[in-house]
Chains A and B, each alone.
Chain A
């Protein structure tokens, strides 16, 4: 299990993998964690491959459950955790789960708290499996996979954060009270 090819195959099939920095394999997409003590090895695609290609040829990409709500939750997590927009979203700042639920409720026009909480936790579980977020008992933060977003992607993502700025302010303000 030492050759770069074997590592590559492993993360392509198993998803992002966290290893001590000393074990990092050159040539793989990585994201440093915990001030550089650990590194995430990330499954990367060659240029022109990936989900966008699948969508182009009309082959359904991997389905999400409740895709729209899950993406909304992801957008909310992004706008709450990405504090320094001059850099990339990784590693970002952790955010309280309750704050996240509040922000989601604000986005959805102050719906029922209970249903918002269940939607958010369902979405977070899905996102965690794919490495889009990392869950800790009380907090949530962006997952290592966000490091794979390209510079072009980030332009649009900043746009999302601008759109949701009021929600961010409101949620963080309510949480502070």
Chain B
């Protein structure tokens, strides 16, 4: 008459996790049954339901009143019994014997009890065990001589859908969830590979008997292999997450993050009870002050050389070498243009060059030589202009190239 007790009481955390897992499976199963969202039984309610249904079974076949039920469920608070009674009656699991107002005697349907047994079994063996049952039942159905090809096709299709859903859920979990969540779900969604073997036996059975079901069987095969891939992906994700150290004694960082994410504010605050913190004031460490002050002085005065790649350090010198070469070449050009004199007219230089193509090259060199810091030459332009329509260079600005007085 009372709620069945667990043979062994697991530790608190395990019990909590187990209850959570069971509840998830219930919720998923009820998704099919529930009329609307919200309002979910918990494990304790099931015990009350069972007690109520037990009381119906033991009671008068002609009908049982609420008072009789309450007295039969002596171990349970009457308020709880009342609440479950209302819910069960709301879902027509309990109905008045005769449909009239103020009818006290009720009868119970058998379906809720079947569901209850199913839930109980799920609670002890988890959702995956149900798949084993289904596969076993499916195997028997296929062996049964009275099974038609139509039935087999439906059955194979159901299994294919089942494994597809399992695989998809797992793939999404591997991609998006934290490793700790993955580990939590390990038992319910990807715990053992036996399922695949069992399903393959079912598949072979069907294929042996009805060759025409090849298409359905191919669907099932694909679903199975995608499930297998998902299991492998999940396993390798967990192995990666464990890392090379395999420090099993300490909680992984994800567990801490998970805790902070999942817990209510009160629980998080409790951990800080009795702790005080400095106001969030920025620090002024002398080292920071000093580096800031020093860098402040530097900014805008010294040009910092841009960082160079560490490679090709050996090939750096050409930069300076080319500058040096440049200087010598410019000096040589300048001396050639001057020809030992102190100064030379630009018009003469250009006339000597013959054509503009070479003249402009010489002009460029002389300009560079005049601007070079290390060379003592200068290029002076005057405001007058020589025009010679017949010449190679039709107009030339007057100017001179000369040694700069030291």
| Chain A residues close to B by CB (< 8 Å) | 8-9, 12-15, 43, 45, 50-52, 61-64, 67-72, 74-76, 78, 107-109, 126-127, 129-132, 145, 149, 153-154, 156-157, 159-160, 163-164
The residues in B between 210 and 249 inclusive whose CB is less than 8 angstroms from any CB of A are none
Query: B39 on the interface (CB 8 Å rule)?
Result: no
Within residues 228 to 280 of chain B, which ones have a CB less than 8 A from any CB in chain A?
A: 276-280
Interface pair B301/A71, CB less than 8 Å apart: no
Q: Are B282 and A64 in contact (CB under 8 A)?
A: yes
A107 contact from B279, B284, B293, Cβ within 8 A: B293
Q: Is the CB of B278 within 8 A of A157?
A: no
B309 on the A face (CB < 8 A): no
User: What's the dominant secondary structure at chain B's contact region?
Assistant: loop
Q: Mark B270-306, 1 if CB is under 8 A from A, else 0.
A: 0000001111111111111110111111011100000
CB–CB B289/A163 < 8 A: no
Interface positions of B (Cβ within 8 A of A): 276-290, 292-297, 299-301
A-side contacts of B283, CB under 8 Å: 50-52, 61-62
Q: Which of B285, B286, B293, B299 has the most CB of A within 10 A?
A: B293
Tell me whether B281 and A72 are in contact (CB under 8 A): no
Q: A71-B292, A71-B293, A164-B293 are in contact. List 15 more A-B contacts (CB 8 A).
A: A9-B276, A43-B278, A62-B283, A67-B292, A72-B292, A72-B293, A72-B296, A109-B301, A130-B279, A130-B281, A130-B282, A149-B286, A160-B290, A163-B294, A163-B297
| 8 Å CB contact of A52 from B285, B296, B297 | B285
Which residue in chain A gives the minimum CB-CB distance to B280?
Answer: A62
Q: State the CA gap A108–B36 with chains docked (Å).
A: 70
A62 / chain B contacts, CB cutoff of 8 Å = 280-283
- Is the CB–CB distance between B284 and A159 below 8 Å? no
Q: Which residues of A contact B294 (CB under 8 A)?
A: 163
Least CB separation from B289: chain A residue: A75
* Across the A-B interface, the 4 shortest Cβ-Cβ residue pairs: A51-B283, A71-B292, A130-B281, A156-B286
Q: Collect the chain B residues with CB atoms within 8 Å of residue A129's CB.
A: 281
User: Is the beta-carbon distance between B289 and A160 smaller than 8 angstroms?
Assistant: yes
Q: Which of A12, A145, A160 has the most CB of B within 10 A?
A: A160
Which interface residue of A75, A130, A132, A157 has the most chain B CB atoms within 10 A? A75
Min CB distance B47 to A, Å, is 48
Q: A107-B297, A157-B289 are in contact. Are A71 and B284 (CB under 8 A)?
A: yes
- In the complex formed, the residue of B with least CB distance to A13 is B279
**Chain B's nearest CB lies how many Å from the CB of A111?**
8
| Given A50-B283, A107-B296, A108-B296: A13 and B278 interface contact (C-beta under 8 Å) | yes
Residue of B nearest to A64 (CB): B282
Residues from chain A with a CB closer than 8 A to the CB of B292 are 67-69, 71-72, 74-75
Specify which chain A residues have a CB less than 8 angstroms from the CB of B286 in the assembled complex. Answer: 149, 153-154, 156-157, 160
Chain B residues near A45 (CB-CB < 8 A): 278
Residues of A within 8 A of B285 (CB): 51-52, 153
Chain A's closest residue to B294 (CB) is: A163
How far apart are the CA atoms of A108 and B294 in the complex, in Å? 10
Given A62-B280, A71-B284, A109 contacting B290 (CB threshold 8 A) = no
Residues of A within 8 A of B289 (CB): 71, 74-75, 78, 157, 160
The one of B282, B287, B293 in contact with A126, judged by C-beta atoms closer than 8 angstroms, is B282
Which residue among B276, B282, B285 has the maximum number of chain A CB atoms within 10 Å of its CB? B282
A154 / chain B contacts, CB cutoff of 8 Å = 286
A43 to B139, alpha carbons, bound, how many Å? 75
Provide a sorted-by-A list of 12 A–B residue pairs whose CB atoms are within 8 angstroms: A14-B279, A43-B278, A52-B285, A62-B280, A63-B282, A67-B282, A74-B284, A74-B292, A153-B285, A156-B287, A156-B290, A160-B293
A14 CB, min distance to chain B CBs, angstroms: 6
Please report the C-alpha to C-alpha distance between residue A149 and residue B288 in the assembled complex, in whole angstroms: 13
Whether A13 pairs with B277 at a CB distance below 8 angstroms is yes
With a cutoff of 8 Å between Cβ atoms, the chain B residues found around residue A163 in the complex are 290, 293-294, 297
Which residues from chain A contact B297 at a C-beta distance below 8 Å? Answer: 107, 109, 163
A145: chain B residues at CB < 8 Å are 281, 284
A80: min CB distance to chain B, Å: 12
Closest to A54 in B: B283
Compute how far the CA of A15 lies from the CA of B282 in the bound complex, rounded to whole angstroms. 11
- Residues of B near A107 (CB, < 8 A) are 293, 296-297
CA–CA, A50 and B285, complex, Å: 11
Complex CA gap A114/B23 in Å reads 67
Residues of A within 8 Å of B278, CB to CB, are: 12-13, 43, 45
Structural contact, B282 and A61, CB atoms closer than 8 A: yes
Smallest CB separation, B300 vs chain A (Å): 5
A109 to B296 alpha-carbon distance, docked (Å): 8
A130 CA / B280 CA spacing, docked (Å): 8
Bound-complex Cα distance A63 to B300 (A) = 26
Closest Cβ neighbor of A167 among chain B residues: B297
